[in-house]
Structure 1
Amino acid sequence: MVDEALRRDMTNISRSLFTDEIEQAEPPRKFSMPHFTSFKGDGDPERHLKHYRSAMVLYRNNDALMCKIFATTLQGEAQDWFHTLPARSIQNFDDLSLVFTKEYSSYRSIKKKSDHLFNVKKNPKESLRDYVKRFKAEKAKIVGCDNSIASAAFQKGLSADHPLFGEMIMKEDLTLADSFALAEKHALWDEARQAEKAPEQPRKELAAAQKKDEKQPNKGRQEVKRRDRPTTKEGPMTNNYSKFSIPIHQILRDVKNEPWNADGDEEPPTKTIRINGIFAESEHLGATNNSKKRKIQQALLISQVQAVDTQPGPIIGFTEQDAEGVDFPHDDALVVSVKLAHAIVDMMMVDNGSAVNLLQLSVIQKMGLESTIIRRAEVLTGFNGHTSTAIGHITLEVKTPPVVSKQTFIIVNDPSPYNGILGRPWLIKLDAVTSVKYQKIRFRIPGGGVGEIKSDQQVDREDGAQADKIGWKPEEDVEDIILDPQQLEKTAKIGSRLNPDEKEELTIFLTKNRDIFAWSPSDMPGIDPKVACHKLHVDPTAKPVIQKRRHFAPERVAIIEVEIDKLLKAGFIEEVAHSAWR
């Protein structure tokens, strides 16, 4: 009986749930399994279907493949349910999606509406910044949230006696983005006022201690007397002096450059951390295993700071010998790695034209020093008049051995390929001379000699390339408009803050001129070189070599093949019949 039941269970497991047409269909050539989030039977079925369709976007037209691969995304109880379906009952992916959604319909998430935001209130002890953060998190959970309702809910969540509430009441036609910007200014104002109040508490404690000492004057004298006469268990300790065999002036001359701790107490050792580029490794940036290895090796390299033997009182300069190790030709910025407090920070641009030192907020957060920022709204102005509001400032030690200088950094939170900027305050304090051509910084060392800092030229180029991959983002929210009712995929993006008249006028204009848009490579038969011309930055004296064939991940191969097919169809490229170059 047991064997029969077991044999029956094995038969049910091995039977096919798909039709013969799906079973016999072969997978595409060079197909690679994408990465999926598994469904175990306790989640939203619609969310899982959206995730699956997005991952299989390149194979949506292959119905058999969609059915077979979907079964592999089910685990646990969901996999058990799948094998309870009748044999050969699945004819296409639409049928499978419908059966799957019906089975787990009770797990569907209840979609919140825009008016749910009226339940979000600012707590009396909650800071304005935390309230804005919590409100944005709730708004992100609402798909298609109406910004006008969200703006009203944001204002309603504030108490009537809050300064921001009164200012929002007085202003008309305030958009949600304007409300958030106004809240950010008020948050900076609140934090600046708190920073000014913070030093008052230590002053009160010091005044109280002084009053206590005035009430007990004799106690202080007795403690001084006891300290003047240290004792041991055997009795009063006598002062013992060591006799030096070397003259004292020679000893002082040898130790004059050694670090001196006036308090006599050694600082506890701190853990040194390293902060690399702003752009972290991500599968979306297409980092291969080889590029990850190179990145790790570069992360182990510290900007070389070395002493160069010169005569006392040297004149700092650069010669053609400094070109060794520099990749020419180039127009790279001068980017170095420096030690700030206990962290080695990469991707710091040296800018002779900057009147201040800048540091990204993300760097301070990684260093664990965000609580020490003196928050104060400060306006920075660029050379083109563009202004940016800083979060505050912080003072850190910049260590370029053997010179250590304290520098004030303005903290910003703006998109940038660099972790920060070392400006004129640091260069003047270091008494440094820079060379962008030779990618070096040289500075005088107290007591004679010249120190040298070499740039991270290769790291700067690779992180700059990653910055290009991230791409451009609009400064404001945008919305899609359809330019051709017959072809819904032909859309354009326009600003969501346009008034109805401007939006209608712009939509009519773009619709009338939709024929000038290039919707595919075949729509660009040729471009005048006077308009745009691609140029390879290659040394004309270099000898051409055959490069090794590069191997890509399977999912990237599929994307490359699609793009190549587009270029072949448009006639931009053609296949070469020669197997090797001669």
Structure 2
Amino acid sequence: MSIARLPTGGLNHNLKRAKVSILLVLGFSDEDKIGTIQPYDDALVITLRIGGYDAKRVIIDQGCAAEIMYHDLYKRMNLKPDDSTLYSSPMVGFEGRVVIPKGQIRLPVQTGSEIVEVDFIVVDVYLPYTAIMARPWLHMLRAVSFTLHQNVKYPSEAEGARCEDLKKVSIRDDPENFFQVGSQLPLQEKEALIEFLKRNIDVFAWNAYEVPRVDAEFICHHLKVNPLITLKKQPPQRLSREHADAIQEEVMKLKQARVIKEMFYLEWLANTVVVKKKSGKWRVCVDFIDLNKACLKDQFPMPKIDQLWMQRLAIIG
């Protein structure tokens, strides 16, 4: 694990703020990949000192909402059943099987010189890991984890890590088209970055209307409509002149950008809905409520880990 420390030297920045403070930016570079075998796409697994015991094969999972300790590690630490408190809320495992936790226990977790108290839910199931450290622990440490570099970084001083101030850099004559770069970047790096952005300006789209149409041979989305559903035509709604003009303008922009094309569907008809934005402009939407009800629900072939763990930690009432 890597410890990011606050700089000790004095830095003078012309910040437009009443208070001038030194900002810490946690980041990763190619130097952090030293010692890893690339390309690397495995999970982030570390050794962590939990309750005075060096626990190996601890996985860091940003998608998990609670820290989990498996019963094998619980027994290795010579913990007794009386050491944990009651935690009777059932959880659902990956395979859909209901798991009854053995209990909950609070233990100190040491990372370098930092020690935080963590509540672990103890479960008696088999996994190749001894524990799972989740978002609560990462947030308490204000840590940043990165699987590519197999690293966890966190601030070691009380000031903590905050985002670096950003500076607007206009690329075109239009002030609405700009990039934002870090204000504390060294001058040479900042100039090289801006020059790189200018050389590749053609790959950026400043609004949705500049995005070219995606070739259907590359990717195409099909609606999975239930064939047993009765086709429905929504009755036409009368629009005000202002709403009709907003819809006409939006449709022309989308057609010009080749995002949409004119089609005639006699089976399904849906009305447009015009909503005013906070900026005072109009947002044009389509009422797809009836069509959404007719579409079959897709099942994820590879559910994401945060969804799996939220199901696992779901309370069955």
Please say whether Structure 1 and Structure 2 have the same fold, judged by a TM-score greater than 0.5. Answer: no
Name the structure with the higher helix share: 1
TM-score, normalising length: structure 1: 0.24
Larger Rg, first or second structure (1 or 2): 1
Structure with more contact order per residue of length (Cα contacts < 8 Å, sep ≥ 6) = 2
Name the structure with the higher strand share: 2
TM-score, normalising length: structure 2: 0.43
